[in-house]
């Protein structure tokens, strides 16, 4: 599976699978303590139809790096702070 993350704002990402948005990744909690990163699928699919490695609709991690390792990706792009024109190019 080829996942990538597109940053929308600090602590908020679209989760893409092969270029299509399939979910989101968000940070909750304080920035330095009690931080939790959650990956969540958009659709509540039956377990047999969920893309790997999703056994559940959402999974939580202590760091973004742990989440990216679980997804098998290091590709993180940013749209944060770009105008809509810049985002479309």
Distance separating the N- and C-terminal Cα atoms of the chain: 25
Question: Nearest-5° angle of CA 72, CA 73, CA 79?
Answer: 150
Which mean pLDDT values do the consecutive 10-residue runs of the chain (89 residues) have? 88 93 92 86 95 96 93 80 47
pLDDT at 75: 76
pLDDT at 1: 63
């Amino acid at each position: 599976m080829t996942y990538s993350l597109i940053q929308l704002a600090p602590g908020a990402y679209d989760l893409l699978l092969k270029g299509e948005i399939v979910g989101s990744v968000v940070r909750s909690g304080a920035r330095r303590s009690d931080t939790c990163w959650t990956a969540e699928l958009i659709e509540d699919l039956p377990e047999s139809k969920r893309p790997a490695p999703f056994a559940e609709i959402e999974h939580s991690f202590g760091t973004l790096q742990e989440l990216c390792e679980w997804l098998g990706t290091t590709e993180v792009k940013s749209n944060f702070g770009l105008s809509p024109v810049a985002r479309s190019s």
